[in-house]
Amino acid sequence: MHNNHLGMSAFQRVALVNVRLESRQRIPVNLLVLAACIKDRTRVTVFDPDPDQGDLRGLVEFQPDLVGISFMTQTALRAKELYDILRAALPSAHFVLGGVGPTVEKEAVFERFRPDAVVVGEGEKTLRRIVDGEPLDQVPGVYRTGRPFTPGEVIWNLDEIPLPAYECMPDFEKYLCPPGGIRGKWFDAGTPMIMTGRGCPYQCTFCSSHLMFTRKVRRRSVDNVLQEIRRLRNEYGIEAVHFLDDTFNAPPSWARNFCEALLREPYRLTWGCQVRVNLFDPDLARLMRKAGCVQVDIGVESGSPKVLKALKKGETPEQTAAAFRAAHEAGIAPMATFLVGCPEETMEDIELTRQLVKRIKPSFSEFYFLIPFPGSELFEQATANGWLKDRSYEGRGMVDRPVMEINFTMEQQVEIRRAYFQLVGWRNLAGFVSLNVLWAMMKSLRPSMVAAALKEFWKTRNLRDAMQAYVHALRAAYGRRAAQQRSQRAAP
Ligand code: B12
Ligand code: SF4
């Protein structure tokens, strides 16, 4: 039986591990921030194992005495696999689990994994206290079955949180790779993500964000965010970023102040973010465009007022139409996400959504099946009404098939989604593969990438594997380039 008490001693080597299902890589900003909080106390490294490569050697060779694993509900199964492998390979290490997955299901996760601790909520202060060797029962935010639980401290002043410690990720430069996360554009150094705030005051029934960040909006100071941007530019040559806040324009005054401050900076930055339509207007759109915003992602969900009400979205189709108009007119590409299989949704509501799609002309549209994540109001409704038919979404990442039956069968939902995608087919293609991207792709092609792809195809006769080999070679080439440029910048 593993010792479930960490005792008073501090840890010498901490590994923070991200769990992902796709070979597509995104900088694990949350873990880099956590690393920044403890790097003055211990040696810390952030790992982001590629599920397709399956190589955990670097992590095991690091010989951590504390392993922190981060996952969401939809990556929980992969997290358990990784946990079992690492626990066997590192028998004397201690294990803590954190992230939205453990936070919304702390009891079940503790029972399933039996770790030393589950960290509930924001991890910065809790992890620091664990690393300092405080007895676990005294650390707020630590959950263990059968022990008293005190919620962790909310960090009200976000400027207290240090900037992400990119240097704690051994192959960080590999993440600075084109095309980046802004559709239809190509950035040689990729598009790192920045979080400028936490907390959202809205009540959407499918959302569990408040369990992590509360319903009170907290924003970093504009200057604090600019420091992160300047560092990314000066050290890594970044030209574009993506803001991953739930709602970038809450409150709109913060977004305005940020844009005005950005315009006073001596460089130009290209960026994208997520906005709510009820807080977006033509003036803000124009100002954001002037400050470099080229893409806004908008959770439209439905074209039916009745469905929006059932989801407690707090927005109307009219507001959505006005916001899309404002974005198009300002020259910002508005991207839309919609939900399929909502409560109270009938064929008339689907028709209203189709009409709205035609009216607002999103530059790119995505259609998701509605998933009831634990901790959300929808999850309670789904359980109470017997809507949930399939819980396997815990292992599947991007959710590609329905899991509930409310008014439509699974087959009908698949058909509805297919018809939606048909409606936006060309527009989606144009939003994604612009001439600019095609030209940049051609220019970036290197014989080594083509050779890697051909070799893999020869071996497996599988086009997907060949594409993946190409992408790995591309990342490696850009990673080497970014590392080289970084050392040149650092040289006196
Ligand atoms: C950016 C984002 C994405 C991005 C990138 C995700 C990524 N892995 O980097 C993309 C677009 C890919 C994405 C996709 C999806 N996402 Co998403 N996403 C977010 C978003 C907006 C921000 C995530 C983030 O970086 N937050 C900032 C950091 C600082 O917070 P954090 O990760 O929670 O970390 C803190 C704590 O959790 C804790 N912590 C985290 N890890 C660890 C580890 C240890 C050891 C410790 C001690 C502490 C700790 O400390 C951190 C600092 O305080 C959140 C909403 C949100 N507000 O968080 C949704 C969210 C995480 N996504 C969600 C969902 C549902 C999805 C999708 C399933 C959507 C879909 N329908 O396909 C997919 C699934 C992707 C996948 N393969 O897993 C849900 C998750 C619900 C759940 N129960 O799991 C959220 C909460 C949104 C919501 N409204 O409900 N997402
Ligand atoms: S879905 Fe977005 S707007 Fe709605 S409550 Fe969650 S974070 Fe807020």
Exposed/middle/buried for residue 255 (C-beta within 10 Å: 0-12, 13-18, 19+): buried
- Ligand 1 nearest atom to the CA of residue 104, by list position: 83
Q: Which of 143, 177, 205 is the last residue of a domain?
A: 143
- 396: pLDDT confidence band, cut at 50, 70 and 90? low
Shared domain check, 484 and 430: no
Take atom 69 of ligand 1 and give the residue whose Cα is closest: 398
* Structure tokens, 243: 């803001």
Question: How far does residue 65's CA lie from ligand 2's centre (Å)?
Answer: 37
Give the ligand whose atoms come closest to the C-alpha of residue 197.
1
What are the pLDDT digits (tens) for 420-436? 999 999 889 888 777 88
Take atom 87 of ligand 1 and give the residue whose Cα is closest: 209
Q: Which of 434, 454, 471 is the last residue of a domain?
A: 434
Shared domain check, 458 and 406: no
pLDDT at 141: 98
Higher pLDDT, 445 or 238: 238
Lowest mean pLDDT among 105-119, 363-377, 464-478: 464-478
Take atom 82 of ligand 1 and give the residue whose Cα is closest: 73
Report the CATH number that the domain containing residue 420 is assigned in CATH. Answer: 3.20.20.70
Contact 5, 135 (CB under 8 A): yes
Give the ligand whose atoms come closest to the C-alpha of residue 300.
2
DSSP state of 279: G
Q: Residue 349 CB: number of other CB atoms within 10 A? A: 20
Shared domain check, 285 and 422: yes
- 3: pLDDT confidence band, cut at 50, 70 and 90? very low
pLDDT at 277: 98
pLDDT of 117 above 60: yes
pLDDT at 265: 98
Question: Does residue 242 belong to any structural domain of this protein?
Answer: yes
Exposed/middle/buried for residue 453 (C-beta within 10 Å: 0-12, 13-18, 19+): buried
Ligand 1 pocket check for 299: Cβ under 6 Å: no
Ligand 1 pocket check for 127: Cβ under 6 Å: yes
What are the pLDDT digits (tens) for 215-265? 999 999 999 999 999 999 999 999 999 999 999 999 999 999 999 999 999
Question: Does residue 257 belong to any structural domain of this protein?
Answer: yes
Name the nearest CA neighbour of 246 among 307, 293, 193, 285. 193
Take atom 6 of ligand 2 and give the residue whose Cα is closest: 207
Higher pLDDT, 382 or 476: 382
pLDDT of 460 above 80: yes
To test the pocket of ligand 1, the residue of 23, 29, 30 to mutate (highest count of ligand atoms within 8 Å of its CB) is 30
Shared domain check, 418 and 477: no
Share of the chain above pLDDT 70, in %: 97
- 5: pLDDT confidence band, cut at 50, 70 and 90? very low
Give the ligand whose atoms come closest to the C-alpha of residue 371.
1
- 134: pLDDT confidence band, cut at 50, 70 and 90? very high
pLDDT of 202 above 60: yes
Question: How far does residue 206's CA lie from ligand 1's centre (Å)?
Answer: 14
pLDDT of 8 above 50: no
Question: Does residue 170 belong to any structural domain of this protein?
Answer: no
Q: Could you give the angle at the alpha carbon of 143 between the alpha carbons of 142 and 148, nearest 5°?
A: 100
pLDDT of 91 above 60: yes
Contact 254, 248 (CB under 8 A): no
pLDDT at 1: 32
Mean pLDDT of 195-221: 95
Separation CA 318–CA 336 (nearest Å): 15
Question: Does residue 168 belong to any structural domain of this protein?
Answer: no
pLDDT at 475: 80
Shared domain check, 237 and 105: no
The structure tokens 């071996």 sit at: 459
pLDDT of 166 above 50: yes
Question: Does residue 44 belong to any structural domain of this protein?
Answer: yes
Question: Does residue 155 belong to any structural domain of this protein?
Answer: no
Question: Does residue 75 belong to any structural domain of this protein?
Answer: yes
Q: Residue 132 CB: number of other CB atoms within 10 A? A: 15
Lowest mean pLDDT among 4-18, 30-44, 135-149: 4-18
Question: Does residue 8 belong to any structural domain of this protein?
Answer: no
- 472: pLDDT confidence band, cut at 50, 70 and 90? confident
pLDDT at 317: 98
pLDDT of 6 above 60: no
pLDDT at 477: 83
- Ligand 1 nearest atom to the CA of residue 127, by list position: 47
Residues 6+ apart with CB under 8 A from 439: none
Q: Which of 434, 461, 481 is the last residue of a domain?
A: 434
Question: How far does residue 311's CA lie from ligand 2's centre (Å)?
Answer: 11
To test the pocket of ligand 2, the residue of 104, 207, 249, 338 to mutate (highest count of ligand atoms within 8 Å of its CB) is 207
Ligand 1 pocket check for 104: Cβ under 6 Å: yes
Ligand 2 pocket check for 378: Cβ under 6 Å: no
Q: What is the domain extent for residue 469?
A: 444-492
Shared domain check, 113 and 210: no
* Structure tokens, 35: 């690393």
Ligand 1 pocket check for 44: Cβ under 6 Å: no
Shared domain check, 302 and 220: yes
Ligand 1 pocket check for 124: Cβ under 6 Å: yes
Shared domain check, 334 and 205: yes
Cis check: omega of the bond before 179, within 30 degrees of 0: yes
Shared domain check, 216 and 275: yes
* Structure tokens, 337: 């996400």
pLDDT at 450: 87
Ligand 1 pocket check for 340: Cβ under 6 Å: no
- The tally of domains found in the chain comes to 3
pLDDT at 260: 98
Ligand 2 pocket check for 244: Cβ under 6 Å: no
- 178: pLDDT confidence band, cut at 50, 70 and 90? confident
Shared domain check, 202 and 257: yes
Shared domain check, 427 and 451: no
Higher pLDDT, 467 or 36: 36
Shared domain check, 132 and 63: yes
Give the ligand whose atoms come closest to the C-alpha of residue 335.
1
Ligand 2 pocket check for 406: Cβ under 6 Å: no
